């Protein structure tokens, strides 16, 4: 059965305070639960904010007060006869305040310095072939990649990055990749050219790869991602799920599926790699060259719909919100033919892109899309639960 929402445990989870077993349970829940996932994003943001707190400047007023205290302290250092006897205790208090303030400041600076040193972010890199380089230095056997540094391979070199304790990334020849960030709430690489294979067992949405045309967000998975010289990329997922995003355009790509991205467009529509060649070709035209009618006498969308198998509802589900509203009905009808929508999902609702119905149908379809039985169970549980909710709502009407 689908477990309860995990909102209360998210903070501890985010800070790595849970056991491996508990973390796994929550990670699995997060993959399937939209609600907890958005809560998780908020908590991550909070933790991120907290991490930056030491960098916030003290208010000017505090410095002014300190300045006054220090000046007073200086003036009290004048000959004793200039001091009134009644100010003696005040003098002592002022002195104490300055010493205390200095101690607090010193302690703060040292603690911050230790914190920075402790978390000086870098990943271990091992040479696999040839001589990969970090900056201008060649890697003999092992080295470290710090935040901001570039790792580069030539046509014969390969390297492996250990991404903290959350997974590893293999970097293929002719690749240029940079470590942008590594902290408890986010690990981020930038891939500007070449190819990498990532295997990540971190909680979903902790590991990101920026490419020139989209961001790959990991949802507990293994995948390869390549970027060509024009900044276009291609993602192949071998296990779990990956989300490709650019602004508010998002493609959810499960194991066995692929998705292309283009600069200026963002992620295209995901598709299963075992779909027909005509299907894939027509989809690429639909995504990236919608004006090109030269290549086929039959419109791309017609070809995609005609060539779809039940599993290709992955593609059709994404197309629902991407095609012109005049074409949406045709996409719906084909989907309903291949995999009838669950109770609570209506044609009218889908044509209006009703968010609840879209999610409900998607959770239902993930069943067909996923080849992983454990994930499938999660999807079924989620679907059953959501279905109960929608039925409950209907009952109230
Ligand atoms: Zn939940």
User: pLDDT tens for residues 41-100?
Assistant: 888 777 777 766 655 556 666 667 767 766 776 555 544 444 444 455 556 666 666 666
Query: Between 370 and 346, whose confidence is greater?
Result: 346
| CA 35–ligand 1 middle distance (angstroms) | 5
Digit-coded pLDDT (tens) for 271-309: 999 999 999 999 999 999 888 777 788 889 999 999 999
> Nearest to residue 219, comparing CAs of 232, 231, 234, 209?
209
* pTM over cut 0.75: no
| CA 37–ligand 1 middle distance (angstroms) | 7
Give the start-end residues of each E strand in 112-185.
Answer: 122-129, 133-134, 137-138, 142-146, 150-152, 158-163, 167-171, 176-183
| CA 30–ligand 1 middle distance (angstroms) | 7
Per-residue pLDDT at 184: 76
Average pLDDT across the chain, whole number: 81
* Helix count and strand count (H, E) for the chain: 12, 16
Residue 279: partners with Cβ closer than 8 Å, 6 or more residues away:
271, 303, 304, 307, 308, 312, 315
| CA 349–ligand 1 middle distance (angstroms) | 24
| C-beta of residue 194 within 8 angstroms of C-beta of residue 171 | yes
Per-residue pLDDT at 382: 40
Segment holding 216, helix H or strand E: strand 214-227
| CA 358–ligand 1 middle distance (angstroms) | 17
Within the chain, all domains assigned CATH 2.60.120.1440 are found at 122-255+379-397
Task: Give the integer Cα–Cα distance in Å for 44 and 69.
Answer: 40
| C-beta of residue 207 within 8 angstroms of C-beta of residue 218 | yes
pLDDT greater than 50 at residue 6: yes
Rg (CA), the chain: 28
| CA 63–ligand 1 middle distance (angstroms) | 46
Q: Which CATH number fits domain 122-255+379-397: 3.40.190.10, 3.40.50.970, 3.50.50.60, 2.60.120.1440?
A: 2.60.120.1440
| CA 366–ligand 1 middle distance (angstroms) | 17
Task: Give the integer Cα–Cα distance in Å for 347 and 328.
Answer: 10
Strands 207-211 and 186-200: what pairing?
parallel
Other C-beta atoms lying within 10 Å of the C-beta of residue 339: 22
Digit-coded pLDDT (tens) for 170-203: 999 999 999 998 887 788 999 999 999 999 887 7
| CA 20–ligand 1 middle distance (angstroms) | 19
Query: Between 154 and 27, whose confidence is greater?
Result: 154
What mean pLDDT comes out for the span 338-365?
94
| CA 164–ligand 1 middle distance (angstroms) | 27
| CA 2–ligand 1 middle distance (angstroms) | 9
Per-residue pLDDT at 3: 52
Digit-coded pLDDT (tens) for 91-125: 666 666 666 676 666 656 555 544 444 455 789 99
């Amino acid at each position: 059965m689908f477990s309860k929402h995990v909102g209360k445990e998210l903070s501890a989870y985010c800070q790595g305070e849970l056991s491996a077993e508990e973390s796994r349970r929550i990670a699995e829940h997060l993959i399937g639960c939209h609600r907890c996932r958005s809560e998780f994003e908020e908590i991550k943001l909070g933790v991120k904010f907290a991490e930056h707190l030491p960098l916030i400047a003290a208010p000017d007023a505090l410095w002014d007060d300190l300045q006054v205290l220090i000046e007073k302290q200086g003036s009290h250092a004048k000959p004793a006869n200039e001091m009134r006897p009644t100010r003696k205790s005040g003098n002592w208090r002022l002195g104490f305040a300055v010493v205390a303030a200095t101690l607090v400041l010193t302690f703060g600076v040292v603690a911050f310095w230790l914190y920075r040193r402790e978390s000086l972010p870098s990943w271990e890199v091992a040479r696999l072939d040839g001589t990969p380089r970090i900056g201008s230095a060649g890697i003999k056997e092992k080295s470290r990649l710090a935040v901001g540094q570039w790792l580069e391979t030539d046509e014969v070199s390969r390297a492996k990055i250990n991404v903290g304790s959350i997974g590893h990334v293999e970097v293929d020849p002719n690749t240029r990749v940079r470590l942008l960030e590594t902290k408890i709430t986010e690990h981020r690489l930038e891939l500007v050219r070449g190819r990498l294979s990532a295997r990540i067992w971190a909680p979903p949405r902790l590991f990101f790869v920026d490419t020139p045309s989209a961001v790959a967000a990991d949802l507990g998975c293994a995948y390869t991602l390549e970027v060509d010289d024009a900044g276009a990329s291609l993602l192949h997922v071998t296990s779990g799920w990956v989300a490709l995003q650019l602004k508010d355009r998002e493609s959810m790509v499960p194991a066995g599926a692929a998705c292309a991205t283009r600069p200026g467009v963002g992620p295209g529509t995901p598709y299963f790699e075992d779909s027909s060649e005509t299907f894939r070709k027509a989809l690429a035209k639909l995504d990236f060259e919608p004006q090109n009618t030269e290549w086929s006498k039959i419109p791309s969308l017609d070809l995609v719909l005609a060539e779809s198998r039940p599993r290709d509802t992955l593609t059709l589900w994404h197309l629902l919100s991407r095609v012109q509203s005049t074409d949406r009905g045709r996409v719906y009808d084909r989907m309903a033919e291949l995999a009838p929508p669950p109770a609570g999902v209506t044609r009218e609702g889908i044509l209006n892109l009703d968010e609840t119905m879209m999610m409900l149908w998607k959770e239902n379809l993930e069943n067909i899309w996923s080849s992983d039985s454990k994930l499938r169970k999660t999807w079924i549980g989620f679907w059953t639960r959501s279905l109960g909710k929608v039925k409950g709502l209907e009952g109230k009407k």
